[in-house]
């Protein structure tokens, strides 16, 4: 197996991975940094983030108000100390992005701040309706101009390499599959940063790109890191509901991701109405369409069930046409491509899997259970989001964590040394050392199995769950794992697809098991058989420790 040696390997090229790599390189240009990304460097959840980044940047706003809104959305599970620290660092992090070339929309020289659901003030900094794309553009340009960083595109991590010979496990690199060359490569490193994003692709309809298959959570868990709160999967209330020529929503599946309609549209005054034209959100919450996302998504789901319909409508008629054209040019263009003129017509929308509030347990600095293994962004669980993420707090947490992790790295990397000769590949079946198959027959269609998993998760582990439905999908998942197997071999017809499916089944199992155990309804986790909050038993994180 070919191998490369670096000081640091960064996995993922969204806001967290890019910010971390840049900050470390700026702090110590002599360090050699590898940036490994599954597709092109711009393909990430960050790139599709329309709304913006929340921070108390206004003179009429405050840290206390932002903290209170975050805690309120989190339904009792936020770690208040973590929330306070991330919110406190937010304004500096946003200004740092601007210094790196992110062109935030401004008015009279100040950040143009907008309102989003769950916020009590206009505090979301944005670049019109394509903030994530603009952040990616600026950070990728900075990466390209930084000699210390080597970018490896189309590389997917198989497993971490972990040295278990000492008193505590220590990461010392990773094994990756180079999809362009069709070969496995060993990356040796003193520190590995996982910034791989979320798990949206385990669901049939998701706003996430095709690469969001839960890789970071899966490989960290296999290596021995604990995970928390995987049952809290946020469904964005307003994703474009698109059908194919036959009227089937399968077009959403073939496209890989659905078009997200930013929360900021509702912040400007758009209403949610059912197909009879009734604005139903005030029936569910006095905040109407600007209630937190879990409430809005469940309200839409309730309307769809009650009326036996497939979607509701987002009515933009309260917003002046000139504001629509100025504020939402990308949404206007994308909807026109789908046959909807949002200056005249309502947008058909339905909830779609969007964001994972749980993940690998970590401090704000990204420090995990495994020495030298850091995480940042959506793959991480710091306690910031609790049981439901407040809108636009995702980019905030990602950039604050990345900056903090970079500071930790610069202060501590001297205590880490490469020890590749003593490394294993983490827990569980990993890279096959000999020619063979992936745990059985290579005739199994990985695409069919992937689609089956997505359908099962959407049907039984979506906005509303029950013990019966969770048991059905757990049994099906066990059967799938038994048939497909866990090993990865160079002789697989499609190693890339095999690696992704392995990770998807791993994270799906974690979601199912935590959703089964939490016998209450809280935030994003709603059990039809346990519809009430149970603070006495469940006002705590769900945590799973790997069995190594």
How far is 20 from 409, CA to CA, in rounded Å?
A: 10
Nearest to 288 by CA among 335, 322, 242, 237: 237
Coil, strand or helix at 353: strand
Whole-Å CA distances, 511 to 39, 215, 462, 507: 25, 14, 10, 6
Cβ-in-10-Å burial (0-12, 13-18, 19+) of 520 comes to middle
Task: Give the chain's radius of gyration (CA, Å).
Answer: 22
**C-beta of residue 490 within 8 angstroms of C-beta of residue 433:** no
Neighbours of 444 (CB within 10 A): 18
Q: For residues 67 and 384, is the Cβ–Cβ distance under 8 A?
A: no
Cα angle, residue 353 at apex, residues 46 and 533 outer, rounded to 5°: 115
Whether 343 contacts 332, CB under 8 Å: yes
The count of C-alpha atoms lying within 13 angstroms of the C-alpha of 139, restricted to the half-sphere facing its C-beta, is: 32
Which residues form the catalytic set?
Answer: 293
d(CA 103, CA 336): 26
Element (H, E) at 70: helix 63-73
Q: Which of 350, 366, 275, 314 is nearest to 20 (CA)?
A: 366
Number of H helices, E strands in the chain: 16, 25
CB neighbours of 337 closer than 8 A, spacing ≥ 6? none
- Say if residue 468 is exposed, middle or buried (CB neighbours under 10 Å; 0-12, 13-18, 19+): exposed
- The packing angle between helices 446-460 and 467-484, to 10°, is 170
Three-state SS at 417? coil
**Is residue 488 within a helix (H) or strand (E), and if so which, with residue range?**
none
**DSSP of 73-99, one letter per residue?**
HTTT---HHHHHHHHHHHHHHHHHHHH
d(CA 116, CA 293): 10
Residue with the two structure tokens 């930790």? 408
Assigned token pair, 20: 């971390």
């Amino acid at each position: 197996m070919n191998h490369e040696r670096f000081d640091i390997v960064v996995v993922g090229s969204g806001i967290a991975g890019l910010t971390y790599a840049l900050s470390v390189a700026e702090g110590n240009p002599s360090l050699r940094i590898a940036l490994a990304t599954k597709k092109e460097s711009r393909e990430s959840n960050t790139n599709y983030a329309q709304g913006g980044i929340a921070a108390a940047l206004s003179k009429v706003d405050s840290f206390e108000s932002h903290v209170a809104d975050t805690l309120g959305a989190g339904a009792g599970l936020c770690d208040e100390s973590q929330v306070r620290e991330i919110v406190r660092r937010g304004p500096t992090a946003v200004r740092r992005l601007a210094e790196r070339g992110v062109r935030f929309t401004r008015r009279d020289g100040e950040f143009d701040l907008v309102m989003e659901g769950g916020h009590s003030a206009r505090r979301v900094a944005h670049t019109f309706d394509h903030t994530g794309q603009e952040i990616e553009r600026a950070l990728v340009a900075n990466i390209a101009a930084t000699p210390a960083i080597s970018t490896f595109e189309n590389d997917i991590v198989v497993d971490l390499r972990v040295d278990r010979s000492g008193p505590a496990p220590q990461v010392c690199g990773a094994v990756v599959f180079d999809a362009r060359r069709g070969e496995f490569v060993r990356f040796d490193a003193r520190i590995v940063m996982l910034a791989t994003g979320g798990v949206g692709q385990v669901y049939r309809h998701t706003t996430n790109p095709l690469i969001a298959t839960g890789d970071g959570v899966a490989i960290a868990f296999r290596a021995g890191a604990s995970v928390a709160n995987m049952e809290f999967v946020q469904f964005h209330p307003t994703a474009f509901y698109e059908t194919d020529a036959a009227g089937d929503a399968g077009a959403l599946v073939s496209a890989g991701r659905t078009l997200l309609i930013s929360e900021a549209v509702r912040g400007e005054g758009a209403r949610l109405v059912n197909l009879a034209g009734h604005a139903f959100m005030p029936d569910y919450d006095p905040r109407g369409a600007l209630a937190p996302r879990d409430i809005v998504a469940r309200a839409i789901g309730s309307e769809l069930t009650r009326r036996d319909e497939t979607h509701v409508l987002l009515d933009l008629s309260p917003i002046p046409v000139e504001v629509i054209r100025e504020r939402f040019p990308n949404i206007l263009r994308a909807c026109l491509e789908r046959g909807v003129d949002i200056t005249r017509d309502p947008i058909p929308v339905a909830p779609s899997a969007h964001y994972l509030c749980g993940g690998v347990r970590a401090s704000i600095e990204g420090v995990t259970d495994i020495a030298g293994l850091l995480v940042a962004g959506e793959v991480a669980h710091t306690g910031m989001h609790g049981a439901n993420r407040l809108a636009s707090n995702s980019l905030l947490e990602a950039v604050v964590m990345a900056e903090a992790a970079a500071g930790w790295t610069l202060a501590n990397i001297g205590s880490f040394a490469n020890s590749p000769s003593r490394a294993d590949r983490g827990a569980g079946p990993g890279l096959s050392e000999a020619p063979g198959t992936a745990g059985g027959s290579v005739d199994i269609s990985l695409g069919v199995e992937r689609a089956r998993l997505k359908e099962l998760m959407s049907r039984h582990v979506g906005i509303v769950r029950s013990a019966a439905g969770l048991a059905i999908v757990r049994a099906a998942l066990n059967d799938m794992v038994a048939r497909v197997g866990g090993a990865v071999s160079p002789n697989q017809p499609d190693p890339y697809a095999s690696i992704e499916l392995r990770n998807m089944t791993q994270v799906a199992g974690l979601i199912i098991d935590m959703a089964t155990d939490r016998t209450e309804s809280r935030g994003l986790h709603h059990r039809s058989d346990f519809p009430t909050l149970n603070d006495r038993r469940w006002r705590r994180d769900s945590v799973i420790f790997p069995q190594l």
